[in-house]
Amino acid sequence: MAAMASDAQLFEEDFRIEKLSDPKYDRVDRIYCTSADNQTTMELDINKELFPCTPGENLHIVIATSLALDGTKDDERGWRDASKVSAGEATLADMFEYVMYGKIYKFDDGENGENM
């Protein structure tokens, strides 16, 4: 990730999948993960047809404000549009097997105000 501007990268961590929820939808699983240092837990909905996961598997998660490696804003283009605009130019999406692009739907603040 050294080629990516530090101001675009908000979070990076390795997680272990602890369990999967009972599926509500045909193509979506909710995975429950814990970071390698046991300091962070995460629930995440993923497309299980595109990226099937199993408990015990490890994932590397990055949250960034842009897919551009230099950190420039994406100008409201989708990740598929990025390849059309600059054909051949590498993006952060090229470094990962599964990419979710868009706005965070929901996050919960913890009871003590220190957790999210």
Residue 26 contacts by C-beta under 8 Å, 6 or more apart in sequence?
A: none
Residue type, 92: L
Mean pLDDT of the chain: 80
Residue 36: strand pairing partners:
none
Residue 63: strand pairing partners:
11
Q: How far apart are CA 116 and CA 89, in angstroms?
A: 34
Q: What is the fold, at CATH topology level, of the domain defined by 9-95?
A: OB fold (Dihydrolipoamide Acetyltransferase, E2P) (2.40.50)
Residue 41: strand pairing partners:
34
Percent of the chain with pLDDT over 70: 77
pLDDT at 55 over 50: yes
Domain boundaries, the chain: 9-95
Task: Please tell me the pTM assigned to this model.
Answer: 0.74
List, for residues 12-40, the tens digit of each pLDDT value.
999 999 999 987 889 999 999 999 999 88
Q: How far apart are CA 20 and CA 13, in angstroms?
A: 19
